[in-house]
Amino acid sequence: MNNVTDQLQEDKHLVHKVLSGDPRSFGVIIKNTERLVTQIVFKLIPNQEDRKDMVQEIYLKAYKKLPDFGFQSKLSTWIAQISYNTCLDYLRKKKLVLPEPLHEPDTNADDKLDALNLQLNRVTTDDNMLRKDLAGILQTEINRLPPLYKTMITLYHNEELSYFEIGQITGLPEGTVKSYLFRARKALQQNLLLTYKKEDL
């Protein structure tokens, strides 16, 4: 069995146990997905006081909708999709919009991402920057990005999700995901170079 098959089997087992009346199994689902859910909520919701309520609402929705889960994706991806959509609903109610409008997919996104990765690698592996605590610097600059950019970078780099999985979560085509990710990395690179003088990097 490969990892995906193993994960789907575990998902089916947990869902079956929850639907059979075992609430402890839903606790396992929460434990398995809370990092991903928290990452999405914290990147999209600006009001810190609302974040805890948002996470509770997400898991309440997931519990109620669990009988309808069709195993078309991993359970974690499905719950992440609920998280993303719940956050968008919150932003709409608060009349807050994601600052980045939808664009046509960039057909050269893959090549651009590869080129930008090389540039970022050259910037972020320099000894001087490592002494400045690279992880802390990067996280600070990521948190300054628009919510959608923060989310894309977090899902791809921190959670190591594929373009396809991010597309499932956000409802965006893979090409659009790649374009957003390229622009997010580009903005991050520009912020780093503006904030920290090139000679300091």
> For 57-89, what is each residue's pLDDT tens digit?
999 999 999 999 999 899 999 999 999 999 999
Of 93, 124, 139, the one marking the end of a domain is: 93
Cα 14 to Cα 16: distance, rounded to the nearest angstrom: 5
CA dihedral 48, 30, 86, 113 (to 10 degrees): 90
Q: Give the pLDDT score at 134.
A: 65
Token code pair at residue 155: 């899902």
Count of the separate structural domains present in the chain? 2
Contact (Cβ atoms closer than 8 angstroms) between residue 187 and residue 145: yes
Contact (Cβ atoms closer than 8 angstroms) between residue 102 and residue 176: yes
Selected residue with higher pLDDT from 57 and 132: 57
User: pTM for the complete prediction?
Assistant: 0.79
- Torsional sign, CA 166, 97, 91, 145: positive
Judge if 7 and 89 occupy the same domain. yes
For the segment 154-174, the average pLDDT, to the nearest whole number, is 93
Of 73, 74, 43, 36, residue with least CA distance to 58? 36
Judge if 72 and 133 occupy the same domain. no
Judge if 89 and 113 occupy the same domain. no
Cα 70 to Cα 115: distance, rounded to the nearest angstrom: 39
